Amino acid sequence: MLDLIKSVVDYAYDNIPLYRKLYQKKPDINSLEDFKNLPYLRISDLCANAITDSISDIDEIIYILPAIENKSIFPLSKLESTYDRDVRYSVFYYLLKQTDIKEGSIFAVITDAKHAYYCGEIVNNLLFYKYQTSMFFLRDHTSYEMYKWIDRIKPDCLFLGTDKIIDDVTEWGIPYIFTINRYDRNLSYEKIRHYDIYAINEISWIAIRIGDSYIYPKEFFYIESDPSDDILVLTTIDNYLQPFIRYKTGDRAKIIDENQFQITYIGEH
C-alpha cells in the first residue's frame, strides 16, 4: 500500500500544478505516518484553481460532465480518462461481488431528477456486465404505477436512486434492494437483503455496506478519518488524470479495518 500511495503522490507533484502549490516541496514519504502529515485536499482548493491545474494531461480526457449537470455541492466538471472509466467499472463490479446476487440477475433502477446522473452510470455498468436492466423515473409515475411496471419485469434486484424511500417498496416481493448513501436506513427483512452503496459525486462509488460496515477495494482507495472531527478522508490510489489525495469529504466515518469503515453522518452531496 505504501508503494502505491508514494507512487500517486510523486506523480501528482510532478504533473499537477495544484499539488505543487499545496505541498510547496516534493513530499518525502517513507511511512504511512509521513503520508498522513500531508495537508488535506478540499473543495475550496479545487475551486481556487483552474481545471487545467488539477489534472495531469488534458489530452487524456474522454468524458466531461459539466458542473451545471452535476447537481451536487461539487461545483466543477467531472473528468475521466479511458483508464479512469475502466477503474470505475472495476470498482462497481467489486462492490457487486461482495453481495450474494447471482450472475444473470435482472435489475430495475428507479431514480429522480437529482440522482439521474448516478443512476444512469449504474445502468451503464450493469449493462456492461451483461445484467438485464430497466430504468424508471419516479416523477413520471405514482408509487402504485411504479409497482405495476416493476411487477411486469419481475426483477431480482432493485436500485433505489431517490431522495425518499418508497413507502411500500419492501412489499414488492423483490429479494435484493440497493440504495445510495442511505447509511441510516436498513430495509433488510426475512426475505429481503438490503445493500447500501457509498458514493460521492466528485469521485463515484466507493464502498458497499455488508452488515454494519462498508467494504471498499483497497487496491483503488485508501481511507482514513480526521482524528479531530471524524471526517472521512479519501485517497484515490489508481487515478492519475485527476487524483484525489487526502481529500476531505463532508462525511463522518469510523475506520473498522484496512478496507472497512462505518458511516456516522453523510453531508450534502
Label residues 117-130 b or e (16+ Cβ within 10 Å = b).
Answer: bbbebbbebbeeee
CATH number of the domain bearing residue 147: 3.40.50.2300
Strands 78-80 and 260-265: unpaired
Considering the domain architecture, whether residues 97 and 166 belong to the same structural domain is answered as yes
Q: Are residues 260 and 158 in the same domain?
A: no
| Separation of alpha carbons 45 and 31, rounded Å | 25
Task: Give phi and psi for 122, each to the nearest 5.
Answer: -60, -45
The answer as to whether 77 is a domain residue is no
Is 72 part of a structural domain of the chain? no
96 plus 209 within the same structural domain: yes
Which domain range does residue 113 map to? 87-213
Of 213, 230, 246, the position where a domain reaches its end is: 213
* CA nearest to 7, candidates 240, 183, 176: 240
One digit per residue, the tens of pLDDT, for the chain of length 269 reads 899 999 999 999 999 999 999 999 999 999 999 999 999 999 889 888 888 899 998 888 887 666 544 445 556 677 889 998 899 999 999 999 999 999 899 999 998 877 787 788 899 999 999 999 999 887 767 778 888 888 899 999 999 988 778 878 888 999 999 998 888 888 877 789 999 999 988 888 999 999 889 999 999 999 999 999 999 999 999 889 999 999 999 899 999 998 999 999 888 66
Judgement on whether residues 206 and 240 belong to the same structural domain of the protein: no
Q: Considering only CA atoms, which of 220, 197, 221, 193 is closest in space to residue 207?
A: 197
Same domain? For 196 and 92 the reply is yes
Tell me the CA distances in angstroms from 99 to 14, 211, 214, one per residue in order. 39, 11, 12
> Domain boundary at 175, 192, 213, which?
213
Do 15 and 47 sit in the same domain of this protein?
A: yes
251 occurs within a structural domain: yes
Q: Are residues 208 and 242 in the same domain?
A: no
Do 155 and 100 share a domain, yes or no? yes
13 domain residue, yes or no: yes
Specify the pTM.
0.90
User: How many domains does one find in the chain?
Assistant: 2
Nearest CA to 77 out of 89, 93, 61 is that of 61
* 70 within some domain: no
What is the predicted pLDDT for the residue at 66? Answer: 60
